[in-house]
DNA sequence: GCCAACGTTGGC
DNA sequence: GCCAACGTTGGC
């Protein structure tokens, strides 16, 4: 049975974990830990599936933008950093018997020929409704439509 | 580094 | 259950 594929945009600060870092561990998967927002968690828990495609977005950098394509490599499972007192993601209110925070594994999927900066995304007509470009958006994981995903991927595959 | 926007917390 | 205070995000 052919399962419907979903598309996502996931933000990361490249100083912390960049697309190049993900690519460097190409054979392995990377746990997307530290998500401490219920909406983002619920997307992972309720809608993400292995094989879903991801726009890997660099935030808090100049310029912000989509750096490459990743893919979801696992279903959601408890985020161990929530129980690690030494982790900056430690959450004393997360009960190991009933974990509050989840993560998914992510892996490198494909390079783009070039970076697609936020300024350019704002100019793409297909992307006008994206949550990313709405004022005040802070959500680090957002669903994107197939046409939004394709429009950004196509832009990144065109030569600069 | 600034600051607007947003989510969460906790007193009441 | 309201809402002010607070901490965080992220573009600029």
Exposed, middle or buried by CB within 10 Å (0-12, 13-18, 19+), for A63? exposed
CA separation for the pair A136, A126 (Å, rounded): 20
Rounded CA–C1' distance between A15 and C1, in angstroms: 41
**A70: pLDDT strictly greater than 90:** yes
Q: Tell me: the pLDDT tens digits for A6-22?
A: 999 999 999 999 999 99
Rounded CA–C1' distance between A27 and C9, in angstroms: 31
Q: What integer is the mean pLDDT of A89-114?
A: 92
Nucleic strand C under 7 Å from the C-beta of A74: no
| Domain-located, residue A66 | yes
Q: Report the C-alpha dihedral over residues A101, A105, A154, A158, rounded to 10 degrees.
A: 120
- Strand C bases, protein C-beta under 7 A: 8-12
| Domain-located, residue A159 | no
C-beta separation of A45 from A102 below 8 A: yes
CA separation for the pair A76, A25 (Å, rounded): 20
| Domain-located, residue A18 | yes
CATH number, residue A144: 3.10.590.10
Q: Rounded to whole angstroms, what are the CA distances from A83 to A67, A108, A129?
A: 31, 27, 37
| Domain-located, residue A89 | yes
Nucleic strand C under 7 Å from the C-beta of A39: no
| Domain-located, residue A115 | yes
Q: What is the DSSP letter of A148?
A: H
Q: What are phi and psi of A60, to 5 degrees?
A: 55, 45
Per the structure, the complete domain to which residue A94 belongs is given by 7-152
| Domain-located, residue A2 | no
A134 pLDDT band, cuts 50/70/90, is very high
| Domain-located, residue A157 | no
Nucleic strand C under 7 Å from the C-beta of A59: yes
| Domain-located, residue A127 | yes
A1 pLDDT band, cuts 50/70/90, is low
At residue A6, the pLDDT reads 95
A2 pLDDT band, cuts 50/70/90, is low
Rounded CA–C1' distance between A93 and B4, in angstroms: 29
Residues 6+ apart with CB under 8 A from A88: A34
- pTM of the complete model: 0.94
CA separation for the pair A13, A19 (Å, rounded): 10
How many domains does chain A contain in total?
A: 1
């Amino acid at each position: 049975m052919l399962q419907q594929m979903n598309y996502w945009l996931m933000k990361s600060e490249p100083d912390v974990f960049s697309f190049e870092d993900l690519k460097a561990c190409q054979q392995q998967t990377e746990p997307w830990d530290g998500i401490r927002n219920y909406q983002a968690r619920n997307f992972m828990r309720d809608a993400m599936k292995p094989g879903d495609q991801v726009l890997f977005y660099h935030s808090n950098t100049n310029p912000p933008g989509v750096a490459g394509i990743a893919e979801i490599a696992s279903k959601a499972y408890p985020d161990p950093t929530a129980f690690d007192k030494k982790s900056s993601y430690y959450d004393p209110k997360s009960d190991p018997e009933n974990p509050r925070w989840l993560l998914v594994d992510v892996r490198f999927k494909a390079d783009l020929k070039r970076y697609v900066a936020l300024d350019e995304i704002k100019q793409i007509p297909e992307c006008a409704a994206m949550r990313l470009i709405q004022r005040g958006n802070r959500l680090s994981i957002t669903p994107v439509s197939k046409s939004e995903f394709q429009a950004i991927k196509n832009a990144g595959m065109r030569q600069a």
